[in-house]
Amino acid sequence: MLTRSCRLWAVLFMVGMLTLSVQPGVTAPEVDGFMPAWRVGDAWVVEARYRNLAMGEDAWLPPIRWRFHVRSAREVDGEPCFLLHVVPLGRPDLKVQAVLWLAQRDLRPVRVIDVFPLRGVATARRREFDPRRLTPLFPEGALIPYALPLFPFAEPSHTTGPTVVVGEKAVAVASTTFVDRVSQTWSPTPRGFVVELDDGQPGGGIRQEWWKGLPWAVSQSGRAMEVRLVEPAPGEERR
């Protein structure tokens, strides 16, 4: 027979194992704030629905599922990075892909390659990011919903309102540099955080909901598209 103390420890152990089993390969460091934790080999799928805006706010195009895969880890200028490869699930013929170099310490963007079709031929475009100027990652005209906020999110310590970070994003295109005001606002929720990103572009801002224990935002909404994480499915959908 187990003593009362042993039974208590056994229950705690089982609860702990159960918690780990529903969060495969993902942990959220609580000490410095929230950010998803990835390992090489992790993969997930999101589904994006696109508004057919030329036809009106209520017209939609068929969804595309995008597979995100942490394919490897490499250093860029001494910065250890994850290489995240994003492809349209089941639709290689679209010839739209992205490879994101994201710093392992906080997932800040370091380098992005967007692949897109140019008169039927896959073409690559590369972007580098200023290591001295932190900015959330915006797709910049890509079809892929890879917008990524700055991590980690910290719980507000002195106020109950949302935390706001405002900065600038400078993008050099041909001979001209465009500066956009960038803002990131986040608030804690019972399951994680809600974050709003805006870079002043005509597409408008986006809102993402992140849950602790999941590798990507469970949902994203904005004017141009709506996105949801479908695999691994959030808890309610699994039930």
Partner 1 sequence: MNRCALSLRSAGVRRGTSSLVVLLAISDVIEVWSSRRGAPSGGGSRPRRAALTGAVLVGLLVAALVASFPAAAEAQMTASGTFKLAPTGREVAVIRPHPWSGWYWPWARVPLAKVLAKYDTFVAKRTGRNPGAAAWERKHHRGGEDWSGHCNGWAAAASLEPEPRNPRTVDGMVFTVGEQKGLLSELYMDCYHQFYGTRCYSSKSDPDILPHHFHRLLLEYMKERQVPIVIDADAGSPVWNYPAYAFETTWTTDVRRGKAEVTTKLYLADDNVVADFLGTKGLVKTYRYTLDLNVAGEVTGGAWARGTGKNHPDFVWVPTANSPPAGWQNPAVEEAMVRAIVGSPAPPSPPSPPPASGVASLSRLAMEGEPTLVPDQAYDTVLQEAGIDPAQLFAGD
Q: Which residues 148-207 are close enough to bind partner 1 by CB under 8 A?
A: 169-179, 201-203
Least distance from C-beta 170 to partner 1, angstroms?
4
Would you call 171 exposed, middle or buried from its count of C-beta atoms within 10 A (0-12, 13-18, 19+)? Answer: middle
Whether the Cβ atoms of residue 92 and residue 105 lie closer than 8 Å to each other:
no
The candidate with the shortest Cα–Cα distance to 112, out of 146, 69, 78, 88, is 146
> At closest approach, how far in Å is the CB of 77 from partner 1?
7
- Of residues 74 through 93, those in contact with partner 1 by CB under 8 A are 74-75, 77, 80, 83, 85, 87, 89-93
Number of Cβ atoms within 10 Å of the Cβ of 93:
8
Report yes or no: 196 and 186 within 8 Å, Cβ to Cβ.
yes
Q: Which tokens in the block code for residue 142?
A: 């890509």
Q: Please name the amino acid found at residue 108.
A: R
Least separation, in Å, of the C-beta of 204 and partner 1?
Answer: 10
- Considering only residues 71, 191, 207, 212, which one is a binding residue for partner 1 as defined by CB under 8 A? 71
Q: Of the two residues 58 and 236, which places its CB atom closer to partner 1 in the complex? A: 58
35-54 residues near partner 1, rule: CB under 8 A:
40-45, 50-54
Closest to partner 1 by CB, 65 or 207 = 65
Binds partner 1 (CB under 8 A): choice among 72, 156, 164, 165: 72
1, 3, 121, 236: which one binds partner 1 (CB under 8 A): 121
Applying CB under 8 A, the site for partner 1 has a residue count of: 82
Q: Cβ of residue 9: shortest distance to partner 1, in angstroms?
A: 32
Q: Is 69 among the residues that bind partner 1 (CB under 8 A)?
A: yes
**27 lines the binding site for partner 1 (CB under 8 A):** no
Among 26, 28, 102, 115, binds partner 1 (CB under 8 A): 115
The DSSP code sequence of 161-226 is S-EEEEEEEEEEETTEEEEEEEEEEEEE-SSEEEEEEE-S-TT--EEEEEETT-SS-SEEEESSEE
Is the C-alpha dihedral spanning 41, 45, 51, 54 positive or negative? positive
